[in-house]
Amino acid sequence: LVNLKIIKSNVFKNYLSLKIYYIGLFLLPSAFVISSFLLLISVVIENFGKVNLFFKDKWNYPFIISCLIILFTSFIHSNNYASYKSINYDQINIWVGMFNWIPFFFLFWGFQPFLKTKYSREISSKLIIAGTIPVILSGFIQYFFKLYGPFKTFFGLLVWYQKPIYGVSGVTGLFSNENYTGCWLNIVVPFCIACFFATKNSTFKKGIISSIFLGSVSLILLTNSRSAIASLFITFGLFAISSGEVWVLLLLLIFLIIILLTLFLILNNHSLISNYEIIPEKFLQEFDPDSFSDRELRTEIWNISLNIIFKNPLIGIGPSVFPYIYTSIKDSFAGHPHNLFLELSLSYGLIVSVTIFTTIILLLYKSYLKLKFEKDNKINSIFDISWFISFVILLISQMVDIQYFDGRISILFWLLLSGLKVIGTKEI
């Protein structure tokens, strides 16, 4: 996948930070603690002595403002959380929530030197693909060989969860949750497509990338994650639109309609399930409302979240507090609001959430304009297009669920956004 001769060449010979970054990115899904340490070290080495450039970049201003507000609101919440009678001191730590955001504002800027050219973003894309191979292997081992974990090594620094599959749960692989697995694989699928079309005159290389692509798609289906499966269809649709091949999009829509009609017929005629095992029962249960009678509806969670936000619009209620307030209101449990914008608004107020998400939308828009210009001028940008689609898919998935709080996905979230910033703001 990656041309090792180039990496070993004189260009990279003394580029220590880049080598550390490559290793950290490759290990991200399979060895998170080691990977995050290496990525942080690479960013510090690369940007050491360049802090003045951080403050010169206007795109960092919204995140600096958000950082100050988060610190301010955290101080207020840490002194006022005791007013919530349903929360005990040992149940929550307001200050821990900051680490889901503030360090990543720095990483957003710190990753940019590693993504400053099309070629560097291509290498990063291929390393993400290569690093996903252990995820695919762990998923198939879990599903077909019933090999369950968790498996730990390096004094607990490397953990593969391999949770037993039961009920409506699906394949998790080395992740702790099937939704995390599906989210990660959906990020990788666009890179696989780009890599396939960019690989020419090598059947062997096309075979490798096709295997990884098919393995990723298969595991997405085996996760039984509705958001992951929906994101997969959106990915194909976005690639069809970006490539200009309208017939591909038409075929996709026809295929989607056939699947939806089939599911509708099967769910309303249970004899089909008993007579023909065409579709795994666990997969069908994901679309059967009776399978989720004991869960809170997304719409209900969102409605209560909005009511809480409007009562505390400026500073929110503090991170991790929502589950306890929701339980006191509904006498049922919801771990989070299943929407990253609502989660940020609940934790730190609307000013922070609006500031961060407005900046993200602007970066998406600028990168879209740049990619459109390059397409109109017949400039090859297949990996940059896949970079854009991967982030869009990741952002959409955070609107119906929150996988962001898995460290691997949050790092990739800000890495992709960092790449989009470079794409959208750098001159051709």
Cβ–Cβ < 8 Å for 399, 340:
yes
14 compared with 176, residue with greater pLDDT? 176
pLDDT (mean) for 149-177: 86
Nearest Cα to 313, choosing from 265, 341, 349, 340? Answer: 349
190-215 residue pLDDT tens? 999 999 988 888 889 999 999 999 99
Residue type, 358: T
378-396 residue pLDDT tens? 888 899 999 999 999 999 9
Q: Say what the alpha-carbon torsion angle 34, 35, 36, 38 is, to the nearest 10 degrees.
A: 90
99-135 residue pLDDT tens? 999 999 999 999 999 999 999 999 999 999 999 999 9
Quote the pLDDT of residue 326.
Answer: 87
Residue type, 380: N
* Range with lowest mean pLDDT among 4-8, 118-122, 159-163, 370-374: 4-8
What b/e readout covers 53-76, taking b as 16+ CB neighbours within 10 angstroms? eeeeeebbebbeebbebbeebbee
pLDDT (mean) for 301-323: 90
| 321 pLDDT tier (thresholds 50, 70, 90) | confident
Supply 64's token pair: 């600096």
Nearest Cα to 285, choosing from 166, 179, 399, 400? Answer: 166
